[in-house]
Structure 1
Amino acid sequence: MTAPDLSDPNLPNLMLRLGLPAMAGLSLNAAHQVVDAGFVGQLGAAPLAVLALLAPFAGLVASLGVGLGIGAASTVARALGAERPERARQIAGLGFCVAGLLAIGLWVVLQALCLPVLHLLGTPEESLSLARGYFPVLTLTLSFGLLQILCDFLAIGRGEARVSLRTLALCFGLNMALDPLFIFTFGLGLEGAAWATLTAQIVTLGIWALWFLAPDRRPEIGRLALLGPILRVGLPEAAALAVTTCGFIAVLRLSAGLDGVEAVAGLGLALRLLFLMILPLEGFAIGVQPVLAHAHGAGDAPRVARVQGLLILGALCVGGLAAALLWLGAAPVCGLLSEDIRVRAEAVAALHWLALAVPAVALRLVVQIGLQAAIRPRLALVLGLAPMGWLLWPALALLVPRRGLNALPMAITLAACLSAVLALALLRHGRLSPDAMGVSA
């Protein structure tokens, strides 16, 4: 199959061809998260609470893979835009070396720190034995996940978003099919959800190994200096995601302190449904980012500006529609995912606030990927740290004493909206200008 031409003059068509598959891929990820919660929710509030508490921790580890992947994808696309395909293969080779070392190191460290991590996350005592059985298999899925994330982003960086979609569809589809088998038929309960994920990951990584054997994309180990551009783009994204997941961990711990296991389960379920709307929007932006990076590599400022304009318009329109769907569907969907009345009530109340954050999140994502493509890592970091970092904590301090448990989704929404205002300010002052790319291809 011929790779898409990232310099195609038909921009709307090119953006749809790259963005929609990546959007579908992350939609499958979000659907998988919700289906997982639905199956685990049938086991009771305690397993669902453990899943909710450990999901942000999994996101914290995955942030390393996403940061590395985004950095590699952006620099690969810029190298291709500068007509240097051998450099693109060397970047991929270095990326795999770093991801492999991270995967092994993390697995060893996490095995040794099982109990301290569970206590740090605020796992209730009555759920601790359940979490201890789940944690070792979860850490294996996190290590394999780092490699899988890098494969996805390297394909997207080459404009092969459809290949990424097919492998994600295989992985998440197989995972959802295996969930009831491992959880109920084999009687593994919560641990079965992790075993289903691990099985699907091993199959998917085998497919990726075959894909990367092709001569034009076979990774080569290049000079260590090539890590510089990867890290300049990737580290701010990894830091932003890490802060975001730490924010979610803190919010879930607060919910446990304010109203117990049911509050954790309800808010955790609401956050999964929020991601069901946000991840597709993020996927589209990630899929289109190589077009921006390629245009920067080619020095085509008008093309950069046009892509940014189309992305912003789409973010506001689609984000508004997604918010309406989330608001209207909160009660019926939560009723399907949990039989516990208190869990459902907490989830619906949270979703009615969180739905309002969706358009703001979409706008912030578009501006952030524009900063990454332009190699403006410091501004990308400041913007990425805003919603669940330096803007969230003042909002929590202001609202929690007055509104209690309801303050948690309110604070998340307020911080997201203020982050969107910051993104608009960066746009207004030309901070995404291709005249300040910072790093050559």
Structure 2
Amino acid sequence: MAQKTANNLGEDRIGSLLFKLALPAITAQIINALYNIVDRIYIGHIPEIGAKALTGVGVTFPIIMLIAAFSSLIGMGGGPRASIKMGEGDNDGAEKIMSNCFVSLIGISIVLTAVFLLFQRPLLLMFGASGDTLPYAMDYMTIYVSGTIFVQMALGLNSFITTQGFAKTSMMTVVIGAVLNIVLDPIFIFVFGMGVQGAAFATILSQAVSSIWVLRFLFGKRTILRIRKKYLKLEAKVILPVLALGLSPFIMQGTESAVNIVLNSSLQRYGGDLAVGAMTICSSVMQVAFMPLMGLAQGAQPIASFNFGAKKNDRVKKVFHLLFNCCLFFSTAFWIALMLFPHVFVRLFTPESELAEFTSWALRIYMAAGFMLGIQSSCQQTFVSIGQAKTSLFLALLRKVILLIPLILILPQFFANPVLGVFIAEPIADFLAASATGVVFLCEFRRILAKNQPLQTLQNQMEP
């Protein structure tokens, strides 16, 4: 089975491979987004308190994103490294990476749970909660954080299923949990009358089922790579390269958390709960737009990583070109739909006319450069796939830390309507970051591949 999977990644047509791996990954990413988005949709429709409850849950986003970021630190750092090891024919090395990652996720879960439960009230107030929305935020956060271990296992280890070429199994990890969440949400929220707490409980219960699915597979007989007892002792030489490569996707999601904090606190200052509620919906729509791009990147990752490890540079180039075209097409199509029909997206989250009208205006501004996301995602994730941690890290920092956060703080000072200044910071940062990423990629990609030559080829090039 291992040899068959290796041949598929190293020999089959790139287009068919990307379709086979990306379609389940895209489906998984979209369904994964439903974990939180379905919660928000149901919460926004709770009679009488819907708008306040939705805003309160929106304030917890930084914590939810930070928990997911730590799973990406391990999963998206370990997955490509395991793929490269497989491409080199070193499956034992790949299993050692995966087993070390498993132990790391457990340790991270324990620390995160303790920290967030101890400091939840001051954190939520700092993140933009008001006296009216804080109770809803705390109700949701207490239950969600208590299930951090399930989130880490389900998200972090699922990357190791995808990276072996088992895309359908990886997709089912998310499908099982998301479908269960969709079913349980209305039962706990409305039938049992649990409100916001019911939404959080449904989400965590669903993640627990997903984590059991992942662990059964990776400890079972169907997988190529297994979590093995002999590799459970953490080794610096194994886990540090994982952390180095995973730092870029971690910062992408971690800085998303930081950006959300700055956005919510700024909007609370300039526009109150209405503006924060609008941002909750805008960020949810952004998540919907970004998830298919991440799915495409996840589908391309094992193909690019395996062939980079096998030093098949022509195939690495073909993977990138196809990924770039697909990502750009999708981001442009989504952007057009959003610009033409923002109210369709907004009405999914709230029936309240004041919030819906304000959010439709804000969404067009917030997503004005959404078509550029395809360039940013495909170039940056390709750097991750071929092990270029430093370059990918810089590009992750550029968009959120170097550009967006300062713009959020500075631009409101130059607008008569400071809320407009906050929302317009996002498209300016997206445009500048995507442009810079494209330029860096054009300069670096060929150079990296030129160095990634088989030993015999390099010797021939050095001969006079």
Distance in 2 between residues matched to 1:205 and 1:423, nearest whole Å: 35
- What's the CA shift for 1:68? 0.9
For residues 3-402 of structure 1, what are the structure 2 equivalents within 5 Å? 3=5, 5-43=8-46, 44-215=50-221, 216-220=224-228, 221-222=230-231, 223-401=235-413, 402=415
- What's the CA shift for 1:436? 5.0
What do the CA deviations read for 1:286-336 (whole angstroms, capped 9, x no partner)? 221111111111111211112111111222222111111222231123224
- The match for 2:459 is none
Does the 8 Å contact 1:58/1:142 carry over to 2? no
Does the 8 Å contact 1:388/1:415 carry over to 2? yes
Does the 8 Å contact 2:143/2:197 carry over to 1? yes
Give the structure with higher Rg (CA).
Answer: 2
CA distance 1:88–1:55, shift in 2 (3 Å): same
Distance in 2 between residues matched to 1:283 and 1:389, nearest whole Å: 24
Does the 8 Å contact 1:278/1:358 carry over to 2? no
- What's the CA shift for 1:185? 0.9
Distance in 2 between residues matched to 1:30 and 1:218, nearest whole Å: 28
Q: Once structures 1 and 2 are overlaid, which stretch shifts more, 353-362 or 91-100?
A: 353-362
Identity in percent: 22
Distance in 2 between residues matched to 1:136 and 1:173, nearest whole Å: 23
Corresponding letter in the other structure for 2:111: G
Does the 8 Å contact 1:121/1:253 carry over to 2? yes
- What's the CA shift for 1:261? 0.9
Q: Once structures 1 and 2 are overlaid, which stretch shifts more, 391-400 or 316-325?
A: 391-400
| TM-score normalised by the chain length of structure 2 | 0.90
- What's the CA shift for 1:69? 0.5
- What's the CA shift for 1:122? 2.3
Corresponding letter in the other structure for 1:418: L
Return 5+ residue gaps in structure 2 as ranges. Answer: 456-464
Q: Once structures 1 and 2 are overlaid, which stretch shifts more, 339-348 or 211-220?
A: 211-220
Q: Does residue 1:425 correspond to 2:431, yes or no?
A: no
Could you list the structure 1 runs, at least 4 aligned residues long, displaced by more than 6 angstroms after superposition.
Answer: none
What do the CA deviations read for 1:389-425 (whole angstroms, capped 9, x no partner)? 2111343345312141122231111101111111111
Corresponding letter in the other structure for 1:96: F
SS of 1:337 mapped into structure 2: coil
Corresponding letter in the other structure for 2:243: L
What do the CA deviations read for 1:217-237 (whole angstroms, capped 9, x no partner)? 321253441113211211232
Does the 8 Å contact 2:61/2:260 carry over to 1? no
Distance in 2 between residues matched to 1:32 and 1:252, nearest whole Å: 21
Does the 8 Å contact 1:281/1:362 carry over to 2? yes
Corresponding letter in the other structure for 1:406: L
- What's the CA shift for 1:30? 2.4
Does the 8 Å contact 1:387/1:412 carry over to 2? no
| TM-score normalised by the chain length of structure 1 | 0.95
Does the 8 Å contact 1:115/1:132 carry over to 2? yes
- The match for 1:434 is 449
Does the 8 Å contact 1:274/1:351 carry over to 2? no
Does the 8 Å contact 2:329/2:374 carry over to 1? no
Distance in 2 between residues matched to 1:66 and 1:122, nearest whole Å: 25
Q: Once structures 1 and 2 are overlaid, which stretch shifts more, 193-202 or 397-406?
A: 397-406
Corresponding letter in the other structure for 2:95: R
SS of 2:373 mapped into structure 1: helix
CA distance 1:32–1:236, shift in 2 (3 Å): closer
Distance in 2 between residues matched to 1:430 and 1:333, nearest whole Å: 38
Does the 8 Å contact 2:404/2:426 carry over to 1? yes
Q: Once structures 1 and 2 are overlaid, which stretch shifts more, 289-298 or 213-222?
A: 213-222
Does the 8 Å contact 2:379/2:441 carry over to 1? yes
Return 5+ residue gaps in structure 1 as ranges. Answer: none
Distance in 2 between residues matched to 1:292 and 1:354, nearest whole Å: 32
What do the CA deviations read for 1:148-207 (whole angstroms, capped 9, x no partner)? 112211111112121111110111111011000111111111111110011111222222
Does the 8 Å contact 1:67/1:235 carry over to 2? yes
Does the 8 Å contact 2:43/2:53 carry over to 1? yes
- What's the CA shift for 1:431? 4.0
Distance in 1 between residues matched to 2:177 and 2:304, nearest whole Å: 28
What do the CA deviations read for 1:87-132 (whole angstroms, capped 9, x no partner)? 1111110000000011112112222112222222121012222322
Work out the number of aligned pairs and report it. 439
